[in-house]
Amino acid sequence: MNSRRTIRFFFVIVVAIVPALVFWSRAASAQQDPAGQNKQQIPTIDEYQPKSTLVVKEHKIERAKFPFIDIHSHHWNPTAEEVDRLVKEMDTINLRVMVNLSGGTGERLQRTVAVMKGRYPDRFVVFANMSYDDLNTPGFGQRVAARLEQDVKNGAQGLKIFKDFGMELKYANGQRVHVDDPVFDAVFEKCAELKIPVLIHVAEPSAFFDPWDYHNERWQELKEFPGRARPPAKYPPFETLMTERNHLFAKHPRTNFIAAHLAFHGNDLERLGKLFDANPNVYVDIAAVLAELGRQPYSAHDFLVKYQDRVLMGKDIYDVNEYKWYFRALETRDEYFEYYRKRHAFWRIYGFQVPDEVLKKIYYKNALKLLPGIDPKAFPE
């Protein structure tokens, strides 16, 4: 009987004490972390900003080793004051000649040439652009060729084809203008006759044509700029545009083409090499695709050495403070450093230092070979 009473007594004690202990534990936790701040949170991709603990030598290069030509820049209707500022900034980074690809045509081109080359004849090159206002009138290609010839007489030194060509430009009946449309043959043949290059932007990064999901490595850029997506319901496939572009290059062998942005093959340098091998008249710039080269430093180095006569320096969106990433990648073997525009690359990049002779070709020699009217005396041998 006594043993039963003892068991009941201890049972009552346990029942009374356990809730008290639980309450005391929760109260103590609340006092130590009243807002639940220590609770583990899962960051979003935008919030996750890890700081590297890697300790390696760094070479922060503010000025290019050699004077260079930027083959890919855009300055719409610049003012005299803007041009003066540009020249001062160019001097700080050893940018000897800037190519403005957005010169327009007709009177607009004349104004751009006057404000840029008229005031600094040795520092700027201006490219003409096509007007599509009379696209649907018979004889369009011949008229564009005639306008281009006049633009060259007025100071243009090349032709720039913008990204709408092949993707969004359409005839009045709704038919897409193909990149290799024969209507434009007269224009490209005129460029060969005038000995001016064509810098052409066809398509976009291949990932823009892929499904916009969490497997797409450009997801972050598409989130920031949804309009850059190229869904199949609205746009031709990436490979269709590549086929048309390559046919254009092949059927105008006397015309020198500079394919913008590594021809959007920066993620497949072997494919770009095959494009070069098949088309001796094709070159590329590295504008806005440094992150592609920087994530594959060994392949990038070997590719640039092998095709050193076919690659040109370019930046695209102008910001004098962003060129230093190009200098660092081309001139050093620095490791695992941040790229200047996260939406282009969530990865770090590496330097792929090329020999000086290769660097000179990328910086200025290849451009001097293609662009008429630049004084080579402003550059080293």
Nearest to 96 by CA among 316, 328, 379: 379
Which tens digits make up the pLDDT trace of 18-29?
454 444 545 454
What is the chain's mean pLDDT, rounded? 92
User: In degrees, to the nearest 5, what angle opens at C-alpha 275 toward C-alphas 238 and 253?
Assistant: 105
Query: In this predicted model, what pLDDT tens digit does every residue of 324-351 receive, in sequence order?
Result: 999 999 999 999 999 998 888 889 999 9
Task: Look at residue 44 in the predicted model and tell me its pLDDT.
Answer: 86
Cα torsion through 116, 121, 122, 127, rounded to 10: 50
pTM tops 0.85, yes or no: yes
Residues of the chain with pLDDT under 70: 1-39
Q: What is the DSSP string of 74-88?
A: --SS--HHHHHHHHH
Contact 183, 141 (CB under 8 A): yes
How far from 194 is each of 115, 148, 202, 257, CA to CA, in Å? Answer: 24, 9, 23, 13
Question: CB of 307 within 8 A of CB of 265?
Answer: no
Q: Are 349 and 342 in contact (CB under 8 A)?
A: no
> What pLDDT sits at residue 48?
86
- Give 209-223 as a DSSP string: GS--STT-TTHHHHH
Do residues 297 and 351 touch, judged by C-beta distance below 8 A?
yes
Helices in 225-289 by DSSP H: which ranges?
238-251, 269-278
DSSP-derived pairing of the beta strands 282-285 and 257-259? parallel
User: Most distant CA pair in the chain: distance in Å?
Assistant: 120
**What radius of gyration, in Å, describes the C-alpha atoms of the chain?**
29
Strand bridging mode 124-126 / 128-129: unpaired
CA distance 265 to 156: 29
Question: For residue 241, how many C-alpha atoms fall within 13 Å in the half-sphere facing its CB?
Answer: 26
> Residue 4's pLDDT is what?
54
pLDDT at 2: 52
Query: Which of 154, 122, 253 lies closest to 198, judged by CA?
Result: 253
